[in-house]
Structure 1
């Protein structure tokens, strides 16, 4: 369901926000089902808004929106491949889609983590409202230590309304949540709401102090094995955005884009033009740093 809200438009370098502008926007998200069936969700009312925030629009929908809203300034544009997992079949069949080298790497990471935990993987699943309370009590302190929470305000939600919503979903059996433990302490979490027969990749985080053990990857693999065993779900949707983790685990993808469509006006056009210029400068600097071989070092500094 779309809603009107104040939306932060960040100017970022790597994972660090330099400054933020805000606009009041209505949100138009495209679900995986929308995309796969070429369905156009209804555009929300733009009354008392600065415009529209479009999430994960496929090419056909982007073209229609531009035609229907001439004159609107388009910016904060991010094109990517929206990855998802086709869960028809078994977990073993899913693993068979990976190259032999990738399967070997993933299994080595699992064995390495298990060895550090006394020889076993300790992953725990949480479904019911009461179980979700336990999950949140353990996952929230962990989320606060992740760089997503510290630098991007993208940790596991903690507000009363967000928690009430999570519990309501759990009461309808529409949540799958997982924690990975190391010597009795949680080091990675995964939270997945369920929409129809689709699992939605909402929140994944891990203890940065244990990054060398790849806890996020290990948890993803163990959770998928459990989810395939349920034989209930058709898709695992990695939602908008692109990243190595999503590309690694996805079996399929579709070209999409997220962007803002703001009302005609000098301030809106200036904002989006400034953002485009800033992002362009950052991109050029990144290429220059990459040519010097210092990209990993700079990325580490930005995440501190």
Structure 2
């Protein structure tokens, strides 16, 4: 059980929120691929409802209260068991060329060598954590989304002791500029914490590190690499499969909950209209001027 909120968001930026007490039901990749709806545990008396994430698009989840789809997306993954050759063959020619070009550019900036360092054991993670935290503090994931690498230096140690953590740092002239921390869920490895120092954004360090990490995972014990919830161009480009999902709010049928969902739904609809308008040539210039104002 955790306190949560209905957020009014534009991209990663939260403009406002309505506090709600929601029980979060997060489906794993295996559950999403299986296509079956989850069993909902009983609500406590002061709970407002559930937030179900990665619910398969075709799965029905009967609910007598207020049901609201917050977002639709594809949950992407890489089939590591198929092997690196199959993965590369499944990428578009543009994706392969882009990854090679960005990797070469960053290696050249580092004197001709790509410096990616791997960490997995608890003792190795003790060295990884302060370096990755320094990078995480600079990222939009931490500043805007509160989803940076946790500050606790013991984060993930128990999982690492069971061979359930893979982490990487990308260095430029011995300075860490990007990190990736992944936790295991059975034979699936999750894309949990990621970020790069925006001062080096022109070198695409996040994409380069992700590509290098995936190369190192073929032959590891994991069968899938899970890009988790939400979409992104880099996920689409590097994935070998995906499952259509939705995030679903299920709230008690109170007047407050109905009004809250109506407000958030109206905001989301207005954003979709604005996005379509911004793609219209006659209005694109106006939209750009508004953003600069």
Normalised to the residue count of structure 2, the TM-score between the two structures is: 0.92
Partner of residue 22 from structure 2, selected from 22, 25, 28: 25
Describe the superposition over 1:163-222 as per-residue Cα deviations: whole angstroms up to 9, x where unpaired.
Answer: 545111111110001111111111111111011111111111111111111111100110
CA gap of 1:43–1:264, structure 2 versus 1, over 3 A, is same
Cα drift, residue 148 of structure 1: 1.6
| 1:260 correspondence with 2:257 | no
Aligned to 2:171: 181
Aligned to 1:199: 189
CA gap of 1:279–1:166, structure 2 versus 1, over 3 A, is same
Unaligned runs of 5+ in 2: none
Contact kept in structure 2, 1:73 and 1:269, CA below 8 Å: yes
For the residue of structure 2 that corresponds to 1:80, the secondary structure is strand
CA gap of 1:299–1:210, structure 2 versus 1, over 3 A, is farther
Aligned to 2:275: 286
Partner of residue 271 from structure 1, selected from 260, 263, 269: 260
CA–CA distance in 2 between the matches of 1:269 and 1:34? Answer: 29
CA–CA distance in 2 between the matches of 1:132 and 1:80? Answer: 32
Aligned to 2:203: 213
Q: CA RMSD in A?
A: 2.2
| 1:97 correspondence with 2:93 | no
Contact kept in structure 2, 1:286 and 1:295, CA below 8 Å: no
CA–CA distance in 1 between the matches of 2:290 and 2:5? Answer: 23
CA gap of 1:296–1:105, structure 2 versus 1, over 3 A, is farther
CA–CA distance in 2 between the matches of 1:44 and 1:298? Answer: 49
Cα drift, residue 294 of structure 1: 5.5
Q: Greater shift after overlay, 121-130 or 147-156? A: 147-156
Contact kept in structure 2, 1:142 and 1:207, CA below 8 Å: yes
Normalised to the residue count of structure 1, the TM-score between the two structures is: 0.89
Contact kept in structure 2, 1:190 and 1:203, CA below 8 Å: yes
Describe the superposition over 1:18-58 as per-residue Cα deviations: whole angstroms up to 9, x where unpaired.
Answer: 11122111111111111223344432221131101101001
For the residue of structure 1 that corresponds to 2:111, the secondary structure is coil
- Residue-pair matches, total: 290
Aligned to 2:34: 37
CA–CA distance in 1 between the matches of 2:227 and 2:273? Answer: 28
